[in-house]
Structure formats: C-alpha cells, structure tokens
Amino acid sequence: MLDYYTLWVHQIKTPIAASKLLVQDLGEQTLKKQLEQEIFKIDCYTNLVLQYLRLESFHDDLSVQKENIEEMVKEVVKKYAIFFIQQGLSLDLHDLKQTIITDKKWFVVILEQILSNSLKYTSQGGIEIYFKDDTLYLKDTGLGIQNSDILRVFERGFSGYNGRLTQQSSGLGLYLSKKIADELGHELHLQSVVGEGTTVMVTFKEQKLLFE
C-alpha cells in the first residue's frame, strides 16, 4: 500500500508540472499570479504527503554532514518568495553564518514546513530568521496560537483553532517537522502569543557547533 501511495504522489506531479507550463502562456498578470500561487500550494501539499510517506524509510538514504544554515534558509526563502511579495511581508535574515551537523534534504523539509506555516497565518508585518545560542529562530507576526492548542500543534492531524478558522491546515506540516527533528537529534519547540505571532525554535544542543 505504501508503494501505491508513493507512486500516486509521483504521478500527480506530472499534471502539476504541465499546469505550471500552461500558466506561463496566460497574458493577464493578476490571474497568472493567482494561479501560480494555487499551483504552488498544490505542489507543496503533494510534496508534504511524499515526505510523510518517506518517513517509513527515513534512515535508508540518510546523509549527515556539515551544512551551512544560511544557504539552506536562503534556498527555502527563495522557494516561497512569491508569497512574501504577494502578501507584502518583510523578511529579516541575520546571524545565520553557522554550520551544523544535519541531513540537508530532511532539514530543508523542516524549514519549508515551518516557513509555510508562518506564511499561512501572517497577513501583515513579516518574518525574522536568525541564529542565537545553539538555536535557529523563525519568528513571525501572525495570528498567534491559542494556549489550548500549543501543546497539541505537533500531533498528527491536529489543525487547531487557526486551521479551522482559515481552512488552510493539513495537520501534517508541524507533525512532520517534529518527527524529522527528533530523528536528526534536533529539538523543535515553539512560543506564541495570540495577536502577536509565533516563534519556532530548532535547537542543536547535542552537537558541536562549527562557527565559520
């Protein structure tokens, strides 16, 4: 059954790729940008399912080595640039010249899910990403998370108040991030204030950090 779902996800990516090409031929720019965003979201949800399925064989192609945090962060930010532009959000990256021990492909998945989550619930202000005291911080000025939901945000299938309110939550993103972080030996936790925003932290206490 796992092989079937994996094959299905790979097959559905073909029409997604075709849709991206067709959108390029549209002349009306506003409609084009809206369609690009929606196709991007579909692609992201498809990748989310694929990564979830790959958890079953997490250690099969694990490649743990020194990786540059700044490069990984910028790679993910570039991928989601369209949302910063369309939503008029600011982006502040600083103090990221740090090397950690991790698996790049899996750590990028963590970053993608956290950033995607922040963008879903941040309509004004912006996102700040920085490194301090063995911890990577991703701070947004979004809706914030209800106190009753904070302890459950990493549960599989849990969407919480914000997810029900906006109908944008899959209930998989933060669960997947936490599972990957645990497998890599990283600590993933968050702090949030309703109406002010959320800060997600990835801590690397068990590793020797290598400053550039």
Write out the chain in H/E/C secondary structure. Answer: CHHHHHHHHHHHHHHHHHHHHHHCCCCCHHHHHHHHHHHHHHHHHHHHHHHHHHHHHCCCCCCEEEEEHHHHHHHHHHHCHHHHHHHCCEEEEECCCEEEEEEHHHHHHHHHHHHHHHHHCCCCCEEEEEEECCEEEEEECCCCCCHHHHCCCCCCCCCHHHHHHHCCCCCCHHHHHHHHHHHHCCEEEEEEECCCEEEEEEECCCCCCEEC
What are the beta bridge partners of residue 66? 101
What local confidence, expressed as pLDDT, does residue 212 receive? 43
**Structural domain boundaries in the chain:** 1-57, 64-211
pLDDT in tens, the chain (212 residues): 555 455 566 666 776 777 777 677 666 676 677 777 777 788 888 888 888 888 888 888 899 999 999 999 999 999 999 889 989 999 999 999 999 999 999 999 999 999 999 998 999 999 999 999 999 999 999 999 988 888 888 888 766 655 544 445 556 889 999 999 999 999 999 999 999 999 999 999 765 444 44
Rounded CA-CA distance 198/89 in Å is: 15
Cα separation values, 194 from 150, 170, 182, 190, 199, Å = 11, 21, 27, 13, 12
82 Cβ neighbours under 8 A, 6+ residues apart? 33, 36, 37, 40
Amino acid at 51: Q
Token pair of 107 as six digits: 């750590």
What local confidence, expressed as pLDDT, does residue 94 receive? 97
What local confidence, expressed as pLDDT, does residue 4 receive? 47
Residue 183 · residue 58 · CB < 8 Å: yes
What local confidence, expressed as pLDDT, does residue 170 receive? 58
CATH class, domain 64-211, is: alpha beta
Number of residues in the chain = 212
Rounded CA-CA distance 144/102 in Å is: 29
